Chain A
Amino acid sequence: MDCTSFFFALSPTARSAKYCGEDGQWFRHPDTNRTWSNYTLCNENTKAKLKSAYILFYMAIVGHALSIASLLISLAIFFYFRSLSCQRITLHKNLFCSFVLNSALTIIYLVAVVNNPPVVARNPVGCKVLHFLHMYMLGCNYFWMLCEGIYLHTLIVVAVFAEEQHLHWYYLLGWGFPLVPASIHAVARKKYFDDNCWMSVETHLLYAVHGPIMAALLVNLFFLLNIIRVLVTKLRDTHRAESNMYMKAVRATLILVPLLGIQFVICPWRPENRLAGEVYEYIMHILMHYQGLLVATIFCFFNGEVQATLKRQWMQYKTQLGQRRKDHCSMRSASYTATSITEEPAFMYHHDCNSEHLNGRRAEDSELVALKLGDMYA
């Protein structure tokens, strides 16, 4: 007889059995002397499934912790090196802040609610508030990515080489607007699907939050493709150097948007097969919980400008150490001239900010381009 599938941890493909003995009686279990059916095959996988659930849980926590660490390091780099700052970096800082808060909230939610059945059973108001904040921060993440896309679009397509934009509307879209889908979801959940701590994911009301997020990702993708189109067709002939520069800036964002969005695309298609299902779960968890690490890596650690600045700082530090040891007059003057050459004027960095190299091309390249631009505007 097939194991029934009404309990989630039983495998519906396994079979249970009952034995008819030689004397015409059903097999009786020696311990209880009652007729006994063999259901052991049905729940032989339950332990494995529980173990796998725990592994995924710890993986999620590790992912978010790594994300927080890498994002905090990136934020420290952006705040410490004033020479790096420009409008795009300001948007990056806000994006990173939202990722840090999102990861922190997720860890708190996982540890305090998901792993804590007594709290779920008690169903305090606090855990619903936590869920609301979680949905809000999730929205913030994706809407800040959208802000990055809109900023690049305005900079490149709408007003090429424009002055600084007013960032107020971006702040509103990134921090203020996600309250709207989160509130709508909270109201709907309270009225129509008020389960304990709003933990269930079996409801379509979650689309009140995920729908706008997917819309934001699609709009973002559309903007980025439009930017590429403009760069390739219109600017290529007239402003070749700048179009190359902007292309590199866009490349980073263009890689990130599908990576952040792909979890929503493949979400509905969980394979039926047990092994494929497990692989799917692991991939989804990596895509969902290691996003902060990915964003910090692509926008900060792989950024040629950041790498150049860090290298420069390291060289300064080394020469300072060296001079403290040897204390040579000539060495000191040499190090001063070296720093004055590398300290370029601020307006150079404004344009340089837009040429974010993805795989850390040589710093000299970006400085050459910046010098060229400087010549153009001088």
Chain B
Amino acid sequence: MLSQCVSALGCGSHYEFGIEDLCLAKFRLDMHELGERHWCSWEDTVELYGRLTNCTNLVAFKLGCFWPNKLVDDFFIRVHKHYFQDCSLSGRLLKDPPNRILGPFIVVPILVTLLMTGLVVWRSKRSEGIV
């Protein structure tokens, strides 16, 4: 019994190359055609995802490996990290602009606030007749 569990681990690099070349390449092409904006839309991606899953299953069967296994788990986590990481309920998560754009958007309101405060203090001083 132990030997059979061990032989499952023997499906190492062969299996990995197999799913990378056969399954992931096709998946990559299809997702690229779909366009990054639709990656988070489950209705659009469910079929491609299903095909990828079946493909990994088939390769495992052909190589005599058990399915699912740790390699395919890691593989799918990598796929998710690349394609589905930024998905959220409100749509594909966006990223902040670079610092040279973000900086002024934060610093300018703060400076204007301080200026305005100084102006109000100065004017309320003056309305007392005290310079």
- Which A residues contact B (CB, under 8 angstroms)? 1, 4, 6, 20-26, 35, 37, 117, 120-121, 123, 146-147, 150-151, 153-154, 158-159, 162-163, 165-166, 169-170, 172-173, 177, 180-181, 184-185, 188, 192-197, 199-200, 202-205, 207-209, 211-212, 215-216, 219
Contacts and interface: CB of A to CB of B under 8 A. Distances in A.
For B1, B95, B127, which residue has the most chain A Cβ atoms within 10 angstroms?
A: B127
Contacts of A117: 89
Contacts of B89: 117, 120
A37 B68 contact: yes
A1 B70 CA distance: 9
B1 A24 contact: yes
Contact of B109 (A121, A184, A200): A184
A64 to B, nearest CB: 23
Given A26-B66, A151-B124, A219-B114, 13 more contacts: A117-B89, A120-B89, A165-B124, A166-B127, A181-B112, A192-B96, A199-B90, A200-B93, A200-B94, A205-B97, A208-B106, A211-B106, A219-B117
A216 B93 contact: no
A173 B120 CA distance: 7
A219 B108 CA distance: 17
Contacts, number: 130
A162 B128 contact: yes
11 contacts: A6-B80, A37-B68, A166-B127, A169-B119, A169-B120, A181-B113, A192-B96, A196-B91, A211-B109, A212-B110, A219-B114
**Main secondary structure on B side of the interface with A:** helix
Give chain B's interface residue range (CB within 8 Å of chain A). Answer: 35 or more
Contacts of B95: 193
B102 A200 contact: no
Nearest to B67: A35
A-B pairs with the 3 shortest C-beta distances? A24-B4, A196-B90, A212-B113
A322 to B, nearest CB: 48
